Amino acid sequence: MQLTGKSKAALIIGLLPAFLIYTVFAIYPIIQSFYYSFMEWDGFSEMEFIGLQNFGNLFQDELFWNSVGNNIFVVIASVFGQIPIALFIALLLNRKIKGLKIFRTIGFLPVVLSTVVISLTWSLIYNTKDGMINEILRAVGLDFLAQNWLGDTKWSMVAVCITVIWQFVGLYLIIFLAALQNIPEEVMEAAKMDGASEWVTTWKITIPMIWDTIIVAIILCISGSLRTFDLIYVMTHGGPSHSTDVMALYMFNETFSNLKYGYGSAISVFIFFFSLILIGIVKKVLGQKFI
Amino acid sequence: METTIKKTTRSALPLHRSTRNMSVKNTLIYAVLIIFSVINVYPIIWMIINSFKSEKEFAVNQFGLPKTLVIDNYIEAWGTANLGVLFKNSIFICLLATILTVLIGALASYFLARIEFKFKNALYTFFIFGMLIPIHATLVPMFILLKNLGLLNNPITLLFPYIAFHLPITIFILTSFMKAFPKDIEESAIIDGCGIFRIFWSIILPMSRPALATVIILNFIYNWNEFSFALVLLNDPALQTLPLGLASFAGQFTVNYGAQMAGLTMSMIPIIIFYLFLEKEIVNGMTAGAVKG
């Protein structure tokens, strides 16, 4: 529809609220964090301009690189845990099967729960003394395998990643299932007529046909797990001895516990570019448009 | 060659053999699916069941049903975690943020989808870019900004980040939906003398009902579960939302598992009921939100 002169005002009234609130509370903070990242500031006293020194320190900060490494570990564990499990279960569900609806309902359930509830539940499950996992191990006579899952640097990261995988498998399961059900039935019929086994059909026809969806899911999985914060904050707070620290958590602690606002902002800027670049690269490699 | 031989041998087999193979395969499939479902749902059931046990019983009988239903855990959790206040705060902020985001977003989407103006595409891209911003990168500047505006620890503090960060996905979903309407809808309305907002309110908005349902559910669940902004922007216990309150409650009471489980169960039940009733809409909304976001 074309606008006449009078309704130019309507245009402004219609778009201004969204534009203002989005610009002030989503875009402006990003710009601000660039500004603060050049400052030394404890949040109270006068800011001091120190140029690129925060970034210089950041690149030599071993604890920071430790958190980047852990973050990448979470991303890899999510992609190689969530995507194959979800795809496998979706393939099993994609046939005339009784109880499909129930399996789907249960599969998606963890996705709607809040991360805090999930983290606290799993903290109880991992509990050393009375947690479910150790109790099961004791019950079947494997006492020696019982661990302080979240308190031991050897296991903490694995334990956290298992929870992350558990939380989101259902999301990808549903995405894959929807894609599978969109494959025209004639294609499958034709394959069956040619005498192709189910194994061959799955690898040669089904998976190639939903390949685009798999790529979308991988990108989603990477950008989602890159943002892990709540779960680790609640479960381990980055500990023990930084073994589960991730970028956002390290930034949070540096800023609000150590009162290094400038330094924390430099980490924010790093997270911003790191996410954009990583997702950009993955999209490029897997052949998708950036936005 | 080999395949043809196989095929003939297979069809030569007695019939019952192949049906038995089929049923073995089906049993295996069901077994895998059931194991998957148990892993998915058992942690939740385990917690709900144990929330009704006394501390003593939990220590000795973790996997059975409770011998007697102990509701002390619930009383303690409701009292010490202040669940009443947490629920009230969460409902208030979620409803308000969701309504405002959808209203503001729908209005903007209407102009972006249906009306020609300069820089339209640039403005649309600008909004959509928000889906790429990692929210954790904005925690520090958001804290400083709201502090400077004197808006920290206010009942409406969380509205600002919640609306700002969910507008992009809301606008994305609504705009693509509204674009699909035929062009002559507005033309006949204009002939009838309808104003531009009138068209929005009485024609476009009602027609967008399915997409509105999606974004309402999406916004509500995101807001209901949100933790990071609440953690950074609210200190006052009287203003905390459910996730934030639960996290600090569990921090204080690491010893009393029963009360902790009771608190978690109570906060989980409403969302599970909501999910069981609106499963289709929730699943559609959240997968659409994820895939597009």
Interface of B with A in 1-60 (CB under 8 A): 3, 7, 29, 32-33, 36-37, 39-41, 43-44, 46-47, 58-59
Q: Which residue, B115, B214, B107, B118, is CA-closest to B169?
A: B214
Q: Which chain A residues touch B228 with a CB distance below 8 Å?
A: 229-230, 248
Q: Do A116 and B247 touch (CB under 8 A)?
A: yes
Number of A/B CB contacts below 8 angstroms equals 267
ipTM above 0.85, yes or no: yes
pLDDT digits (tens, 9 = 90+) for B85-133: 999 999 999 999 999 999 999 999 999 998 888 888 999 999 998 888 8
Cβ within 8 Å, pair B224-A130: no
Does B259 touch chain A if contact means CB atoms closer than 8 Å? no
Across the interface, whether the CB atoms of A248 and B260 are under 8 A apart is answered no
Q: Kindly state the tokens that stand for A280.
A: 């950009």
Contact present, A234 and B228 (Cβ < 8 Å): no
Mean pLDDT rounded to a whole number for chain B: 84
The three-class DSSP label of residue B183 is coil
Give the closest of B110, B136, B293 to A271, CB-based.
B136
Check whether residue B48 and residue B96 sit in a common domain: no
Kindly list the residues from chain B whose CB atom is less than 8 angstroms away from the CB atom of residue A234: 227, 247, 250
Q: Which residue has the higher pLDDT, B106 or A142?
A: B106
Q: Model confidence over B41-75: pLDDT tens digits?
A: 999 999 998 888 887 777 777 787 877 778 888 88
Same domain, B64 and B91: no
* pLDDT tens figures, A103-127: 999 999 999 999 999 999 999 899 8
Last residue within a domain, chosen from B56, B73, B90 = B73
**A40: helix, strand or coil:** strand
B95 and B113, same structural domain? yes
Phi-psi region of A40 (alpha: psi -120 to 50; beta: other; left: phi over 0): beta
Q: Which of A9-18, A186-195, A276-285, B14-23 is most confident?
A: A9-18
- Residue B129 belongs to domain with CATH number: 1.10.3720.10
Q: Does B257 touch chain A (CB under 8 A)?
A: yes
Q: Do A18 and B104 count as a contact with CB atoms less than 8 A apart?
A: yes
Q: Does residue A60 have a pLDDT over 60?
A: yes
Q: In this predicted structure, which of A156-170, A240-254, B146-160, B253-267 has the lowest mean pLDDT?
A: B253-267
The per-residue pLDDT for B60 is: 75
Residues 64-93 of B with CB under 8 A from A: none
Give pLDDT, residue B76.
84
Q: How far is the C-alpha of B251 from the C-alpha of B58, rounded, in Å? A: 20
B93 and B131 fall within a common domain: yes
Q: Are A14 and B291 within 8 A, CB to CB? A: no
More confident site: A148 or A65: A65
> Confidence band (pLDDT; 50, 70, 90) for B229?
very high
Within chain A, all domains assigned CATH 1.10.3720.10 are found at 71-245
What local confidence, expressed as pLDDT, does residue B3 receive?
41
For residue B81, the SS3 value is coil
Structural domain boundaries, residue B8: 2-73
The number of distinct structural domains making up chain B is 2
CB contact (8 A) between residue B62 and residue A130: yes
Question: Given B104, B123, B225, which is nearest A115 (Cβ)?
Answer: B225
Residue ranges of B 113-152 with Cβ closer than 8 A to chain A = 114-117, 123, 125, 127-130, 132-145
Q: What are B19's two structure tokens? A: 């049906």
Regarding whether B215 and B127 lie in a shared domain, the answer is yes
- Report percent pLDDT > 70 for chain B: 91
- Last-in-domain residue among B73, B96, B115: B73
pLDDT for B189 beyond 80 = no
Peptide bond into A208 cis (omega under 30): no
Report the alpha-carbon distance of residue A204 to residue A207 in Å, rounded: 7
Q: Do the beta carbons of residue A10 and residue B197 sit within 8 Å?
A: yes
Distance from the Cα of B182 to chain A's closest Cα (Å) equals 11
Query: Are residues B170 and B60 part of one domain?
Result: no
pLDDT in tens, B232-288: 999 888 899 999 998 888 776 555 788 888 889 998 888 899 899 988 888 888 887
Residue A200 contacts B, CB cutoff 8 Å: no
- Candidates A35, A24, A14, A179; CA nearest to A94 is A179
* Whole-prediction pTM: 0.87
User: Token pair for residue A263?
Assistant: 């330094």
| Whole-number pLDDT of residue B34 | 93
Q: How far apart are CA A40 and CA A44, in angstroms?
A: 11
Q: A269, B137: Cβ pair inside 8 Å?
A: yes
Looking at the structure, tell me whether residues B97 and B17 fall in a common domain.
Answer: no
Q: Which of B36, B108, B136 lies closest to A18 in CB terms?
A: B108
Record: contact A22-B127, CB cut-off 8 A: yes
For residue B186, list chain A residues with Cβ-Cβ distance below 8 A: 1
Give the pair of three-digit tokens for residue B211: 């997409």
Which alpha helices (H) appear in chain A, and where do they start and end? 8-22, 28-36, 53-60, 62-93, 100-112, 115-126, 132-139, 156-181, 185-193, 198-201, 207-209, 211-226, 230-235, 247-252, 261-286
Domain final residue pick, B73, B101, B120: B73
Q: Based on the domain organization, do B170 and B219 belong to the same domain?
A: yes
In angstroms, the separation between the Cα of residue A147 and the nearest Cα of chain B is 17
- Of A171, A160, A172, A162, nearest to A230 by C-alpha is A160
Helix (H, G, I), strand (E, B) or coil at B172: helix
Cβ atoms of A34 and A269 within 8 Å: the answer is: yes
- What architecture is the A71-245 domain classified under in CATH? Orthogonal Bundle (1.10)
Asked if residue B48 and residue B67 are part of one domain, the reply reads yes
Q: Label the pairing between strands A48-49 and A39-40.
A: antiparallel
> For residue A205, what is the enclosing H or E element?
none
User: B96: helix, coil or strand?
Assistant: helix
Residues B237 and B121 in one domain: yes
Going by C-alpha positions, the residue among A279, A220, A278, A164 that lies closest to residue B288 is A220
Shortest Cα distance, chain B CAs vs residue A132, angstroms: 8
Task: Tell me whether residues B142 and A268 touch, CB distance under 8 A.
Answer: no
User: Which chain B residues are closer than 8 Å to A269 by Cβ?
Assistant: 137
- Please check whether residues B168 and B126 belong to one and the same domain: yes
Residues 119-158 of A with CB under 8 A from B: 119-125, 127, 130, 132, 135, 139
Q: How far apart are CA A165 and CA A122, in angstroms?
A: 12
For residue A140, what are the contacts with CB-CB under 8 A and spacing of at least 6?
A: none
Q: Are residues B47 and B162 in the same domain?
A: no
Q: Determine the distance in angstroms separating the CA of A186 from the nearest CA of chain B, rounded to an integer.
A: 22
